[in-house]
Structure 1
Amino acid sequence: MEAKLSSDVRKILIVAVTMMVLLFPTGEAVKYGMCQPQCLEIQPDCNAWCKRIGYPKGGECVEPHNIDCCCWEVPPSERLNGTAESLLPLHM
């Protein structure tokens, strides 16, 4: 039983580490503080809407099909050049 549990934990850790390695270099694991699934209703003001609800960096409608309006924790420009600052999401 102990060996099986150890084997299961090892497999979970391998999967978790693999996901981190694959996601962090591309910037896909970063991103958004929150997403609202009605981007089509919020457009063209997704950016303004995010700023209005407490995300000073704004936001954008994201793929697939621009369905979600997602507010940035770390905007793409800061994520790419390494100047990201930590933002706390607005607690409603």
Structure 2
Amino acid sequence: MPYLPSAALLLIGLALLGLYVLRVSRGIGRTRTVLAAAKATFGDETGLLRARVAGLRVAVAERKRSPRVAWAGRGETGGRS
């Protein structure tokens, strides 16, 4: 049976390949978990930043719309003349 050593080496190689694939797939699973957590955190913080920017835009728009006094003399402000 001259093919027996070749078959044994092939089986050992396939077993080692299977262990390697299993180990790599676990690492990929961990990487996906970490990436999903990072993406969620980044999305939350990006959403908060967008909300703050929108609030600032509203405040600036309201400030632009409010009537301003172009010039007030000293007598109108209650100061000393």
Give the TM-score category using the shorter length. Answer: 0.3 to 0.5
TM-score of the pair, normalised by structure 2: 0.35
TM-score of the pair, normalised by structure 1: 0.31
Higher strand share: 1
RCO (CA 8 Å, sep 6+): is it higher in 1 or 2? 1
Structure showing greater radius of gyration is 2
